Amino acid sequence: MKEKKMKRSDFLKLAATATVTGAFLKSGKTSAKEEIGAQAIEADLSKLPREIVYKNELLRMQEDLLRALKKPLKERKWSMVLDLRRCIGCSACTIACKAENVLPPGVVYRPVVDEEIGTYPKVTRRFIPRPCMQCENPPCTPVCPVKATHKREDGIVVVDYERCIGCRYCITACPYNARSADFGEVYTEGTPIVQDYELRPNFEYKKEWPRKHGVSPIGNARKCHFCIHRIEEGLLPACVTTCIGGATYFGDNNDTDSLVSDLIARPNITTLKSELGTKPKVYYIWG
């Protein structure tokens, strides 16, 4: 077969031209690109007709996002709004997330619950996407014995795959059942050929994580991270762009001009299990 491998140096070249933001992954650790500064990302929506951008909620949110990236990390407050009136229970988000993050069997970051309410003929169904709530006060981080999971300055709760020891305390601690353990399974195991798309490295936390036994994240805890690797490239999280009902909103709640800030300020906004004091940054519009 022909040599088609992309060399490491190629990646670096691409990275340089991409001039990504000064965002970095772990507190206390700086990355090589931190110095590059808050520049424009690949996406440049300024050339698109304003009318289209205004009408198109995805483009509007992408603009919001690009604007937020110009600010220092700690001034961003990434938030998500799930308008349940618009959620049609299709689970496109669930699968988009599977593909984007190369999630194996048993690991789901973004399930959608489908429940029936009422008695015939007065009956309805409700569909509830349930990603990680990215709590202000996350119950999952304090229980970590090795400080592998923590809240970033922009509010995203992350798992340091290189520190996680797979004890699963965090999985138990999460009141939203938002974390899963990666047991290293493969969908096509037991079929004539295990397929390479399942083994390809993912881009989580802006690094490459090959599917290799004994190597994190296999054996460790995994969770939704708002697709940090996408948002810091100027892209909305995979669940947001793929939402065919237009139910998923994302943006910087510290930016009063952002679409999410608009929605979060409305009287019909709510959060899940607010009584726990977790202060989720994932909000719901129930009706």
Partner 1 sequence: MEKTRAFLEKPLSRKKFLQLSGATGALLGAGLMESRDVLADNKKEVSYDLNKAKNIINSVCLQCNTGCSIKVKLLDGICVKIDGNPYSPWTMWPHIPYKTSINESAAIDGHICPKGQSGIQTLYDPYRIRKVLKRAGKRGENKWVSMPFEEAVKEIVNGGKLFSNVAGEENRVIEGLKDIWVLRDPKVFKEMSADIKEIWHAKEKDEKQKKIQEFREKYKEHLDKLIDPEHPDFGPKNNQLLWIHGRLKGGRSEFFKRFIQDSFGSTNFHGHTTVCQGSLYFTGKAMSDQFDFDEKDKKAKWGAGKKFYWQGDLSGAEFVIFVGASPFEANYGPPYRSNKLTEGMVSGRLKYAVVDPRLSKTAAKAWKWLPIKPGAEGALALAMISWVIENKRYDATYLANANKAAAKSDKEPTWSNGCWLVKMSAAGGSASGGKDSKPGEFLRASDLGIEKTKKTKTLKDGTEVEYEFDNFVCYSNGQAVTFYPNDSETSAEGDLFVDTEVNGIKVKSALTLIREEAQRYSLEGWAKLCGLDVEDIIAVSQEFTSHGKRACADIHRGVSQHTNGFYNVLAWYTLNLLIGNYDWQGGMSQASTYDNAGEKEGKPYDMGKMHPKKISPFGISLIRHGVKYEETTIFAGYPAKRPWFPMASDVYQEILPSVQDAYPYAIKALILYMGTPAYSLPAGQTQLNVLADINKLPLFIASDITIGESSMYADYIIPDLSYLERWEFQGSHPSVIWKVQPVRQPAVSPIPEEVEAFGERMPISLEAFFLKAAELIELPGFGKGGFKGGLDLRRPEDYYLKMAANVAFGDEKDGSKAVADADEAEIGAFIDSRRNLSKSVFDLEKWKQAVSPELWRKVVYVLNRGGRFDDFEKAFDGKQLKNKYGKQANMYLEKLVKIKNSITGKGFPSLPVYLPIADAQGNSLNDEKEGFDLNLITYREIAQCKSRTISNYWLLGLLPENFILLNSQDAARLGLKNGDKVKVTSKTNPEGIWDLKEAGTTPMEGRVKVIEGIRPGVTAFSLGHGHWAYGSRDVLVDGQRIAGDKRRGKGIHANAAMRIDPYLKNTCLEDLVGASVAFYDTYVKLVKV
With the C-alpha atoms ordered 251, 252, 257, 262, is the resulting torsion angle positive or negative? positive
68-76, 125-133, 143-151, 152-160 -> range binding partner 1 (CB under 8 A): 125-133
DSSP for 65-93, written as a single string: HHHHTTS-GGG--EEEEEETTT-----HH
CA nearest 75: which of 149, 32, 21?
Answer: 21
When the beta carbons of 155 and 234 are compared against partner 1, the nearer one is 234
Check binding of 199 to partner 1 (CB under 8 A): yes
68-76, 110-118, 142-150, 254-262 -> range binding partner 1 (CB under 8 A): 110-118
When the beta carbons of 12 and 142 are compared against partner 1, the nearer one is 12
Check binding of 236 to partner 1 (CB under 8 A): yes
Distance CA(73)–CA(41), nearest Å, equals 15
The answer to whether the CB of 261 falls within 8 A of the CB of 105 is no
Check binding of 210 to partner 1 (CB under 8 A): yes
68-76, 79-87, 147-155, 254-262 -> range binding partner 1 (CB under 8 A): 79-87
State the nearest-atom distance from the C-beta of 272 to partner 1, in Å.
Answer: 18
By CB under 8 A, the residues from 29 to 58 that bind partner 1 are 31-33, 41-45, 47-49, 52, 55-56, 58
* 130-149 footprint of partner 1 as x/- string (CB under 8 A): --------------------
Distance CA(254)–CA(242), nearest Å, equals 24
State the nearest-atom distance from the C-beta of 2 to partner 1, in Å.
Answer: 8
Among 21, 79, 141, 180, binds partner 1 (CB under 8 A): 180
When the beta carbons of 70 and 206 are compared against partner 1, the nearer one is 206
In three-state secondary structure terms, 218 is coil
Among 75, 208, 257, 262, binds partner 1 (CB under 8 A): 208
Cross-strand partners of 125: 116
67-75, 147-155, 196-204, 270-278 -> range binding partner 1 (CB under 8 A): 196-204
CA angle 89/246/97 to nearest 5° reads 65
Q: Give the total of residues touching partner 1 (CB under 8 A).
A: 108
State the nearest-atom distance from the C-beta of 172 to partner 1, in Å.
Answer: 14
Among 83, 154, 252, 255, binds partner 1 (CB under 8 A): 83
Distance CA(242)–CA(120), nearest Å, equals 33
Query: What Cα–Cα distance (Å) separates residue 178 from each residue in 155, 170, 213, 248?
Result: 16, 10, 23, 17
The answer to whether the CB of 41 falls within 8 A of the CB of 69 is yes
Check binding of 79 to partner 1 (CB under 8 A): no
State the nearest-atom distance from the C-beta of 136 to partner 1, in Å.
Answer: 27
State the nearest-atom distance from the C-beta of 224 to partner 1, in Å.
Answer: 16
CA nearest 240: which of 197, 282, 198, 205?
Answer: 282
DSSP character at residue 215? S
Check binding of 60 to partner 1 (CB under 8 A): no
CA nearest 205: which of 195, 220, 193?
Answer: 220
Check binding of 70 to partner 1 (CB under 8 A): no
